[in-house]
Copies of this chain bind each other. A is one copy, B any other.
Amino acid sequence: MHDDRTGQIAVIFLSHRTDADDAGYGEAAEAMGKLASRQPGYRGIDSTRGPDGLGITISYWMDEESALAWRANPEHSAIRNTGREIWYENYEVIVARIARNYAWARS
């Protein structure tokens, strides 16, 4: 969690799942993570989902161009349709440019 991310694009994905098709969702999430990591400009991902059902996934991109290219990836587009049909109750996407970041760890 300690790279300098200044100037990177953070794509924040907030979601609530339906109760449907946990197995298919899990497989797709894993496949999309791998696919994203092979996109040009990929700079990492942080993802978690809490017991109240809110999931937050943040993917990091070198620049706007690489973030938009990931959005346009055909496999990613297709899986988003499945997400709206089956897996998600609602979601929000927030695209932001990182101004600064810093980290702390117990020594």
Contacts and interface: CB of A to CB of B under 8 A. Distances in A.
A88 to B, nearest CB: 7
Q: How many copies does the complex hold?
A: 2
A52 B50 CA distance: 10
**Interface band, chain A:** 35 or more
A12 interface: yes
Contacts of A95: 98-101
A3 to B, nearest CB: 9
A88 B101 contact: no
A73 B84 CA distance: 41
Interface string A67-107: 00000000000000000100011111111111111111110
Of the candidates A18, A94, A100, the one having the most CB atoms from chain B within 10 angstroms of its own CB is A94
